[in-house]
Structure 1
Amino acid sequence: MADAMRYRELRNSGISEGEIRGRVDRGQLWRPFNDTYLPATSARQLPHARLRALLVRLPPAALICRQSAAPLHGFGDFVTRTTDHRVHVLLPAGVPRPRLRGVVVHETALPAEPCLVDGVWCTSPARTAVDLARTSGRIDALPVLDGALRAGRCDLDTLAAEVALHSGLPGVVKLRELLKAADAGAQCRQESQLRLIAIDGGLPRPQTQIKILDASFITRYVIDLGWEESRVGAEYDGRSHLTAERAQHDRERHNWLAAQGWRMRYFTAVDIYRRPRHVVAVLRQALA
């Protein structure tokens, strides 16, 4: 048994009810969902074993989607993190909805192209990004689009085509506008949000990943976000525990950039989520 099987399939293979219970108790079998079993070795070795096991319990048309599909495509870190660990599943309208603990079913009348990633059938990268961004707030939607682009699984044209397919649905107008600001250069969710705050605050659109060259024309540092012509940089500072070595590196970097005429401004999660006006005011003053 290399992949997920249901109780009936185990019994038909000649394993008794008592032996099934015994294997579960001994840790030889893993039961991620009721009536779904995986050998412990497969659970450890197979990528996304829990999702593969879940698909055994669902209708054939089911696809892993939204928050649960984003990590499969490489941009899960750009999705707003919550304590909700439920699996999100997409089903065509009219298909009976299974009732499983820990599973959220989304019905859709819009056909979704199946995509196979590590043995898991899921929505395509563009569909995953659009479904997520369309149903998220503005501050959380842009990071999803940035993440999809950064992962290299789709481009702006693919995202725009997917948005067009969703025409008339809630959140689509917002996405058409945000696509103009989407950028594959963002390295994390907060960088995307910091860039959006600047744009929404009426500042010129900042550049991403600005390479700063030394006297030998070799890249010395890279600034996450900034305005090269004005020599103003903005970065998200999410480090909660700095080592002495890292602190020294950051001081050297800051001093070197300052010597080159760069005015660096650093912002925390508190600034981004609670004081966006402060962020805009600080950047506007630096640009002025």
Structure 2
Amino acid sequence: MGDVRWPFIGAEALGAGVIPERAMRKGFEDVYPGVYVPKGHKPTARERAIAAWLWSKRRGVVAGHSAAAMHGVRWVEGHEPAELIHDNHKSPKKLIVRTEALGAGESSIVGDVSVTSPARTAFDIGRYTRNRLCAVQRIDAVMNVTGVTVGEIEAVAAAHPGVRGLKRLRAVLRLADGGAESPHETAARLALIDAGLPAPTTQYRVFDDHGQFIGRVDMAYEDVRVAIEYDGEQHWTDPAIRARDIDKGVAYVDAHWHVVRAGSDLLYKRRATYIARVETPLRERGLVW
């Protein structure tokens, strides 16, 4: 069983003699009809995307959130339905199939799988994702890992006038920023914008008064030297990371920067406090908006 590359199409594996039928029945189960993974295995988003493509007999194009996972976005859960652009509407459970036109350059090959291009992927995510935060988080992530720009995504939109969801797409593209390195960073940035604060610069490099590099902050209002750092769990539990954060914090203060540190509790449970901790130093340092 360990020699079988999966997901695989059962009929192909049996026909090629790669695995005996009894071993397949005993050790594997179908994630989509005719496409198998080891029994009890919970497919990742990337594995589910590949399984969906195999289910289409390699004729479909992996799209949407599945394409984001194929392009390297880490924050797509494996339990989410896979998405395909394909001509077969009779899709099984946990598979979303859309029949849509793909323009020139709107598909690519990742490994040996046909996948929508980064720009087309973001275009589809922005149109079909009803949750605004999730849409911006995923588009930020696609931009971050692939380098695709808002302008390139808008070019895809211009090539498909009148398609469904363009209004929603334009709304989320106004908020997209490929500098975000995690969904939480996107959430932290949108919280500031929604509170009426200016959009901060992402991934800003900070130097001391002698031109020596101190560190890169998640977000910054560089004109008044106010920064925001979103600290994931590792920043609190890993002693080495914590010590490094403390040392950099001292260096930021010496360089006349005010750094607001936010974790999940502050961002999601005490939003008003988070906003106040950013807004107060901005006003004290004379930022006008």
What are the residue-to-residue correspondences of 1:84-233 with 2, within 5 Å?
Answer: 84-91=79-86, 95-101=87-93, 103-111=94-102, 113-134=106-127, 135-169=129-163, 171-233=165-227
Q: State whether residues 224 and 234 of structure 1, in contact with CA within 8 Å, keep that contact through their aligned partners in structure 2.
A: yes
- Measure, in 1, the Cα distance between the counterparts of 2:18 and 2:261: 61
Distance 1:280 1:249 in 2: 25
Q: Is structure 2 residue 53 aligned with structure 1 residue 55?
A: yes
Deviation (angstroms), 1:51: 4.2
Relative distance call for 1:76 and 1:14 in structure 2 (3 A) is closer
Aligned-partner Cα distance in 2 for 1:263–1:175: 35
Whole-angstrom distance in 2 between the partners of 1:182 and 1:11: 47
* Residues 73, 153 of structure 1: 8 Å contact kept: no
1:275–1:106 Cα change, 3 Å: farther
d(CA) in 1 for partners of 2:260 and 2:15? 65
Q: 1: distance between equivalents of 2:168 and 2:193?
A: 14
C-alpha contact (below 8 Å) 1:58/1:98 kept by paired residues = no
Q: Which residue of 1 aligns with 2:42?
A: none
Residue pair 1:133, 1:175 contacting (<8 A) in 2 also:
yes
Q: TM-score, normalized by length of structure 1? A: 0.78
SS, match of residue 274 in structure 2? helix
User: One-letter code of the match for 1:126?
Assistant: A
Q: Is 2:65 the partner of 1:67?
A: yes
2:287 paired residue number: none
| TM-score, with structure 2 as normaliser | 0.77
Query: Structure 1 residues 213, 23: closer, same or farther in 2, change over 3 A?
Result: same
The answer as to 2:262 corresponding to 1:267 is yes
Residue of 260, 280, 286 corresponding to 2:281: 286
For these two proteins, the number of residue pairs brought into alignment is 270
Residues 33-58 of structure 1 deviation map (CA, whole Å, 9 limit, x = unaligned): 443358x9xxxxxxx56644443331
- SS of corresponding position for 1:151: helix
Task: For residue 198 of structure 1, give the secondary structure of its aligned residue in structure 2.
Answer: helix
3-state SS of 2:146 partner: coil
Contact 1:24-1:31 at 8 Å conserved across structures: no
| Alpha-carbon separation, structure 1, partners of 2:237 and 2:173 | 35
- Cα 1:243–1:263 change in 2 (3 A) is same
Give the unaligned 5+ runs of structure 2: 39-45, 284-289
CA RMSD of aligned residues (A): 3.3
By how many angstroms is 1:234 displaced? 0.9
Aligned to 1:36: 35
Residue 20 of structure 1: aligned partner: 21
Q: Which amino acid aligns with 1:36?
A: V
**Percentage identity across paired residues of the two chains:** 25
Letter aligned with residue 127 of structure 1: R
Q: Which amino acid aligns with 2:34?
A: D
For residues 228-239 of structure 1, the aligned pairs below 5 Å read: 228-239=222-233
Q: Judge conservation of contact 1:163–1:176 (CA < 8 Å) in 2.
A: no
